[in-house]
Amino acid sequence: MNLALAPETLARWQFGITTVYHFLFVPLTISLAALTAGLQTAWVRTENEKYLRATKFWGKLFLINIAMGVVTGIVQEFQFGMNWSDYSRFVGDIFGAPLAFEALIAFFFESTFIGLWIFGWDRLPKKIHLACIWMVSIGTILSAYFILAANSWMQHPVGYRINKAKGRAELTDFWQVLTQNTALAQAFHTLSASFLTGGAFMVGVAAFHLFRKKHIRVMKTSLRLGLVTVVIAGMLIVISGDTLGKVMFKQQPMKMAAAEALWDGQNSAPFSIFAYGDVSKGHNSVELSVPGLLSFLADDNFNSHVPGINDTNKAEQQKYGPGDYRPIIPVTFWAFRWMIGFGMASFAIGLAGLWLTRKKFMLPQHLRVGEDEVPHLVLFRNKPLSAKLGRLYWLVAIWTLAFPLIANSWGWIFTEMGRQPWVVYGVLQTRHAVSPGVSQTEVLISVITFTALYAVLAVVEVKLLAKYVKAGPPELTDADLNPPTKIGGDSRDADKPMAFSY
């Protein structure tokens, strides 16, 4: 059979496409839920109308986005059984539990309270309505945690034994699965990345309006919130990424070596910035690197030994039998770089923005602005950026909204492809995980159908987002400013139209 169209290859493409696509929406959902909740909290506490307008604006974009996150998640849940039935049979005893926890605890939370929040503006008292969006936010974070614990078990299986008689892995310690260091590090890293994504999205959209001098009051608040989020998340990403890297170095040496295209193990291993190599011969022909840095990243010591691809491959052959235990090196290598590059670029843009738009610190009186003015971009004391550079910063800030999305995608491609040929590291190989009973035609139909559907929906979604971004924050109505005092709504006027309807 043509290998490029073998059911396993197609199933892997489908998993990759579905996961990367799903994860365009997930981090925005996680972060925008919390940021919208924060803005609504500010409204409830200060009664400053700009916060309510911001809540409505970002809330709308959040809803457009979460709709896609929810529906693409359905496929994630069922494709294990559809395309990976041998995987499901082998690890269901362990892997199924966090998925069930996710559904029963997090999905119900999210979906029920999002309904209450969307339709609840004129049905719930202010504070209860606010609590609903916080519940949604908690739901999104719990959901992320459970699914990341499940994924971490694939990266580093713990708390299980192999039952030879039944031919499957069985859970022995669920708590360990939920709290192993891989899960903690991965959740920390992924959640930080989610907030970088939402923060950068906010920065980009706010910059778009401020650049055109529109909706200044609301967008200035949004810009600030976005920038602060980006900077805090950016720092947390560096810390958590470092932790995760060290965990990976111990648990999946092959992935670490592949990430660096480090062919042969060495002391004081360098961090490669650029490399071009020959996979079949197992070496790089061109390489640009920082000496010792990889050893430091892996083990906190510039002189530590880092095993290479070739030695790790030999070690795994001895442990698991003959075979090629190398992932696709160029993909792993470049994915790692795109992840870091795009992630750190938006962090840097955020950091620069926070400094340039500062309100008072090191800023002379005449450069401070009122509430309805676009901030000056001030580089040094007394010295604003030139018009040209200022314009450039706003444009870069607008584009930064895409950077974390790119970084996230490459991050997942790196961590999943870097684990190959294993689906569960050291336990089950991907080629033994596919559904034996599903035909090539069936998987092909499925890949084509989902990919086409995702493409169409992506166009629809992006256009809709663009429309609502352009429209800006809505004007407030009487109903917005006079929320009900009773659950179920006040019965002042039985025929009054609903505040929100589909």
Exposed/middle/buried for 487, CB within 10 Å: 0-12, 13-18, 19+? exposed
Contact call for residues 33 and 136 (beta carbons, < 8 A): yes
Q: Rounded to the nearest whole angstrom, what is the least distance from the CB of residue 71 to another protein in the complex?
A: 4
Instruction: Convert 442-483 into a string of H (helix), E (strand) and C (coil).
Output: HHHHHHHHHHHHHHHHHHHHHHHHHHHHHHCCCCCCHHHHCC
Task: Return d(Cα 471, Cα 468) in angstroms, integer.
Answer: 5
Task: Return d(Cα 452, Cα 300) in angstroms, integer.
Answer: 46
Q: Rounded to the nearest whole angstrom, what is the least distance from the CB of residue 439 to another protein in the complex?
A: 8
Contact call for residues 272 and 288 (beta carbons, < 8 A): yes
Of 276 and 500, the one with the shorter C-beta distance to another protein is 500
Residues in the chain: 502
Q: Rounded to the nearest whole angstrom, what is the least distance from the CB of residue 51 to another protein in the complex?
A: 22
Of 135 and 193, the one with the shorter C-beta distance to another protein is 135
Q: Rounded to the nearest whole angstrom, what is the least distance from the CB of residue 471 to another protein in the complex?
A: 11
Contact call for residues 25 and 69 (beta carbons, < 8 A): yes
Calculate the CA dihedral of residues 141, 142, 148, 149 and round it to 10 degrees. Answer: 150
Of 57 and 101, the one with the shorter C-beta distance to another protein is 101
Of 85 and 266, the one with the shorter C-beta distance to another protein is 85
Tokens of 395: 């444009």
Q: Rounded to the nearest whole angstrom, what is the least distance from the CB of residue 187 to another protein in the complex?
A: 19
Q: Rounded to the nearest whole angstrom, what is the least distance from the CB of residue 428 to another protein in the complex?
A: 13
Of 24 and 335, the one with the shorter C-beta distance to another protein is 24
Of 294 and 465, the one with the shorter C-beta distance to another protein is 465
Q: Rounded to the nearest whole angstrom, what is the least distance from the CB of residue 293 to another protein in the complex?
A: 42
The total of other beta-carbon atoms located within 10 Å of residue 170's CB is 14
Of 175 and 380, the one with the shorter C-beta distance to another protein is 175
Of 237 and 424, the one with the shorter C-beta distance to another protein is 424
274 φ/ψ angles, rounded to the nearest 5 degrees: -145, 140
Q: Rounded to the nearest whole angstrom, what is the least distance from the CB of residue 24 to another protein in the complex?
A: 14
The total of other beta-carbon atoms located within 10 Å of residue 296's CB is 17
Q: Rounded to the nearest whole angstrom, what is the least distance from the CB of residue 154 to another protein in the complex?
A: 14
The total of other beta-carbon atoms located within 10 Å of residue 489's CB is 19
Of 19 and 240, the one with the shorter C-beta distance to another protein is 19
117 φ/ψ angles, rounded to the nearest 5 degrees: -70, -45
Q: Rounded to the nearest whole angstrom, what is the least distance from the CB of residue 249 to another protein in the complex?
A: 31
Q: Residue 88 corresponds to which amino acid?
A: S
- Strand intervals (E) in 300-385: 305-306, 378-380, 383-384
Of 123 and 156, the one with the shorter C-beta distance to another protein is 123
What is the gyration radius of the CA atoms in the chain, in angstroms?
Answer: 25
SS3 146: helix
Task: Return d(Cα 351, Cα 342) in angstroms, integer.
Answer: 14
